[in-house]
Structure 1
Amino acid sequence: MITDKYLIREQNESLVLKTIIENQPISRADISTCSHLNKATVSSITTSLMDQELVIESGIGPSGATGGRKPIFLTFNAQAGLAIAIDIGYNYISSMLSYLDGTSIYSQKKRLSISSENLLDEIIESAKSIQRDLPHTPHGIVGMSVAIHGIVVDNNIRFSPFYDVTGTSIHDALTRAFSFPILIENEANLTALGEYTFAFDQKNLISVSIHSGIGVGIIQDNKLQTGAHGHSGEIGHTILYKNGLACACGNRGCLEKYASNKAIYEKYSEHYSVTSVNSDTITKALQEKDSFTEELLDEKIAELAIGINSLVMLYDPEIIIINSSLYNKNPKYIGEIKKQLNSVFARNVTLSASSLDEEATLYGGISAVVTQFLKIPFLKFKA
C-alpha cells in the first residue's frame, strides 16, 4: 500500500508538470481543473516542483469577475537542465546541446565515414566536444540520446546496413564513459518524436526519413509504435521489385534501394560520371531543367508513392511528414507524391515537408531524454 501511495504521488506529479508545460502560463486553479486533481494536491505538488526548480512563478493574472485574490501563474523552468542528442549517419555525425524545452544552445555536424571501428570513439568525442563551456543549470546534463540508422531494441543495436556492431554493447560502453543516462534509439523513431513534440499538433502521425535508406517513425494515439522486435516502420525493406537489387537486409528489390536519396545520387553519379553528389547537386540540376534529373525524380517519386500509399492503408495517419534534404529543398515534389496517392483512403491525409529539416532526429533525441527525465511520456512543447 505504501508503494501504491508513492506511485500515485509520482503519477500525479507527472500529470501536473505535463499540464503546466502544455498550458503555460497557468494558475494553480486551472491546473486543478485541467488535471482533475483537487486544489490541495495541486498546491502540494507545485511546491515540490518549485523546490526541484522545475517550475517557477512567472507573473500575476487578473482577478476574476467577482474579485478576490489574483492568480499566480506558473511556468516550466526549461533552463533547469540540459540534454544532449547525437545522430550517427553513414557519412556524418551530428550533435546538439539544448535546454529541456528543446531550445538549442549549440549544434555541430561532422562529415566522415562511419564504421564499426570508429563508431564508439566518434560518439564519445562528439559528446565531450559539445559539453565544453556548459551553462549552469540546477540539474546539469540529464541524459544523452544516440540515433542509429538501423534496428535498435532496448538500447541494443540489432542491425545496421552501415556499421556492424553485432555483439558489442555501445550502450554499456557509453554508460561507463559518462555519468548521465544514455538512450540508444532508431533514427526514424526519434525523427517522428521530434516532429510530434516540437512541430506538429496531430496525435497520429508518420515521419518518413529518406536519406541513405528509408525509415519510418509511427505515432498512433500519442504513442510511438516500435513493434514486437523493434522492426516497426521499416518500410524501406519492403519489396518493391521481385528479384531486384540485393539489399543488406537479405531481401532483393527493397524500396530504399530505388527511392532513397542515396539511390538517386548513385543514379545521377553513374549517368554523369561524377563522384560527389548530394541534395545541392540534384537541386541545381532541377533548377537548370536538366532532363535526365527531372525524369529521374519522376521515376523515384512514383516508386516512393507506392511505399507511402502502403503506409496510408496500414496506419490511417492524420499527417505524413517527409524528412529529406532533397525534398525539403524541392518541396514541390511532395505535391507530386500526393498526386500519386489516388486512393479514397488518402484524401484526408496531409503530406508535409519537415519544418525541423536535418535536425528533426536531434530534436527527437532531446524529446526522448527529457521525457525520460521528467517521467512524462509523449510531451508536446508549444512552437
Structure 2
Amino acid sequence: MKKNMKSTSRSIKERNKTLILQTIMEKGPISRSTISVQLKLSKATVSSLVDELISEGLVLENGFGKARQQGGRKPIHLTFNARAAYIIGIDIGGTKTLLALSDLTGTIIDTVLFSTQEYVQQKFLFKLSQMIHDLLHKHELTPKCLLGMGIGVPGMTDAEKGMVIDAPTLKWKDYSLRHDVEQLFQVPVFIDNDVNLAVLGEQWKGAAAGKKNVVLIAIGTGVGCGIVINNQLYHGSSWAAGEIGYMVTDKGDALADHGRVFDGYGYLDSRIGGAGISCAYKKRTRLVKSAKEIFLRAQQGEAAALSVVREVVEHIGFAVSNVISLINPETVLLGGGISNSTDWFLKDIERILKEWTPIKAEIKTTDLGAHAVVIGAVSFVLTNNESALLNFRKDEGGYNE
C-alpha cells in the first residue's frame, strides 16, 4: 500500500511539474502566482516545482524586483530556457541529406548538407555520425547535450518500431534505422516518413500554424501526403496513410493508358510526378525536359507545355477535392518542387474545388521550404519525448538513470 501511495504521489508531482513547464514554455514570461491561478495549484506547490525546474536549468528567472508605482515589488517572471538541451533534425532525401541543430523552441541554429547517394550504399551512418559530431563540435556541444534526434525518411516507415519498411530511393527495406543510430549516439531517436514530418513542421512553425486538421500534399518525383487529425499524425493501420500516389483521378484515362503507370508508382504519381510530367511532354514534342523547365515554358506561353500543365493541374485539383471530401481538413498545403509554381495555378485548383466539392478548406503553399522536414523532426522529438525534459541533467548533460 505504501509503495502504491508513493508511486501515486510521484506521478502527481511529475504531472504537475510537466504542466508548469508547458505553461512556462507556451505563455512565458509568466509569474509564479499567475501559474498558480491558471493551473489551480497551490502557490507552495508551484513555487517548489518551479525551484526544481530552475535548478535543472529548464527555467530562467527574469525581472528581479523593480518597485511598482503603487508600491510593492514587481513579481519575478519565468521563461523557458530554450538552450537547456538541443535536438538534431535530419532530412534524408534521395539526393541530399540535411542536418539541423535546433534549440527546444524549434529555432534552427545551424545546418549542414551532404550527398545521400554518395554514401547510402556504404558508410552512410559513418558519414552521418561524422557530420553530426562536426556540427556539435562547431558549437562547443557534445552528444550529451542532445535531448534526441528526429529523422525523416523518403519512404514507408513504422514509427513505433523505428523501422524503414521501404524506401526505394535509398534501397532500404525492413531496416532498423533507429536502433543503429541510437547505438552510435546513446540518445533517443525518432523516425517517420519525411512528408509526415514536413506537415508537423508546417503545423508548428509554418503555413498551418495553429491548425488542428491539416493535409500536406508534396509533389516531386512522386506524390506524398502527410495527414494531421486533431493535432495527431495519422499513420493508418499499416503505416501507409497518405499514399495518394495510388489515387485514380481519371478512370477512363487510367484504363486506356495503364502502361504509363511506372513500376513502383501509382496512377497519380505517373500524372503529376516529375517523371510523368516529362513523359507527357515528350509524347507531344519528342523533347526530354524536366518538370521545372516544362512549367517555365508553360508560363512563357508554349502550347505543348501549357497542354501538359493544364492536365497536371486538373489531376492535382481532383486529388485535393477527394482529400478534402474524405478528411475535411482546415488547411491543405501544397509542397515539393511543384509548389514553386503554385501562385500561377492556385486559382485553377480553387475553381475545380468549387465545382466538385461543397466542403470548404484553405488551400496554401508551404512556408518552410527546405527546412520543413527538419523542423517537423524537432517537433516530433518534443512531442514523443516531452517527459524526458524533466529527466535531463543540465549540469552534466544526458539523462538521469
Q: Shorter-chain TM-score category?
A: 0.7 to 0.9
Q: Per the alignment, do residues 79 and 297 of structure 1 end up closer, same or farther by CA in structure 2, a change over 3 Å counting?
A: same
Report the equivalent of 1:133: 138
Matched, 1:292 2:304: yes
Report the equivalent of 2:320: 308
> CA separation in 2, counterparts of 1:63 and 1:138?
43
> CA separation in 2, counterparts of 1:20 and 1:88?
33
Matched, 1:151 2:151: no
- State TM-score, norm by structure 2: 0.82
The correspondence for 2:33, drawn from 29, 32, 46, is 29
Instruction: Tell me if the contact between 1:82 and 1:141 (Cα under 8 Å) persists in the aligned partners.
Output: yes
Post-superposition offset of 1:349? 0.8
SS at the partner of 1:74? strand
Report the equivalent of 2:95: 91
Report the equivalent of 2:376: 364
Report the AA paired with residue 254 of structure 1: Y
Cα deviation code 1:174-193 (max 9, x no counterpart): 12222222111111110111
Post-superposition offset of 1:223? 1.6
The correspondence for 1:207, drawn from 206, 209, 216, is 216
Report the AA paired with residue 107 of structure 2: T
Report the equivalent of 1:42: 46
Post-superposition offset of 1:33? 3.3
Post-superposition offset of 1:263? 3.0
Matched, 1:20 2:24: yes
Q: Which one is further off, 119-128 or 44-53?
A: 119-128
Higher helix proportion: 2
Report the AA paired with residue 232 of structure 1: A
Report the equivalent of 1:254: 267
Report the equivalent of 1:82: 86
Instruction: Tell me if the contact between 2:136 and 2:143 (Cα under 8 Å) persists in the aligned partners.
Output: no
Report the AA paired with residue 171 of structure 1: R
Report the equivalent of 1:186: 193
> CA separation in 2, counterparts of 1:286 and 1:135?
50
Matched, 1:5 2:14: no
SS at the partner of 2:301? coil
Larger-Rg structure: 2
Q: Per the alignment, do residues 133 and 335 of structure 1 end up closer, same or farther by CA in structure 2, a change over 3 Å counting?
A: same
Post-superposition offset of 1:28? 1.9
Report the equivalent of 1:198: 205
> CA separation in 2, counterparts of 1:103 and 1:295?
42
Matching of residues 102-117 of structure 1 within 5 Å: 102-111=106-115, 113=117, 117=121
> CA separation in 1, counterparts of 2:133 and 2:144?
18
Report the equivalent of 2:246: 237
Number of residue-to-residue matches in the alignment: 373
Deviating beyond 6 angstroms after TM superposition, the runs of 4 or more aligned structure 1 residues are: 61-66
> CA separation in 2, counterparts of 1:63 and 1:289?
69
SS at the partner of 1:229? coil
- State TM-score, norm by structure 1: 0.85
Q: Per the alignment, do residues 59 and 156 of structure 1 end up closer, same or farther by CA in structure 2, a change over 3 Å counting?
A: same
Cα deviation code 1:85-143 (max 9, x no counterpart): 11122222222111111111212334553786245455445434433412459961221
SS at the partner of 1:340? helix
Report the equivalent of 1:374: 386
Cα deviation code 1:136-165 (max 9, x no counterpart): 599612211211111111211112232332
Report the AA paired with residue 198 of structure 1: K
Report the AA paired with residue 315 of structure 1: I
Post-superposition offset of 1:17? 1.7
Q: Please, which runs of 5 or more residues in structure 2 have no aligned partner?
A: 390-401
Matched, 1:352 2:356: no
> CA separation in 2, counterparts of 1:21 and 1:253?
43
Post-superposition offset of 1:265? 4.5
The correspondence for 2:183, drawn from 163, 167, 176, is 176
Q: Per the alignment, do residues 110 and 265 of structure 1 end up closer, same or farther by CA in structure 2, a change over 3 Å counting?
A: farther
SS at the partner of 2:309? helix
Q: Which one is further off, 116-125 or 92-101?
A: 116-125
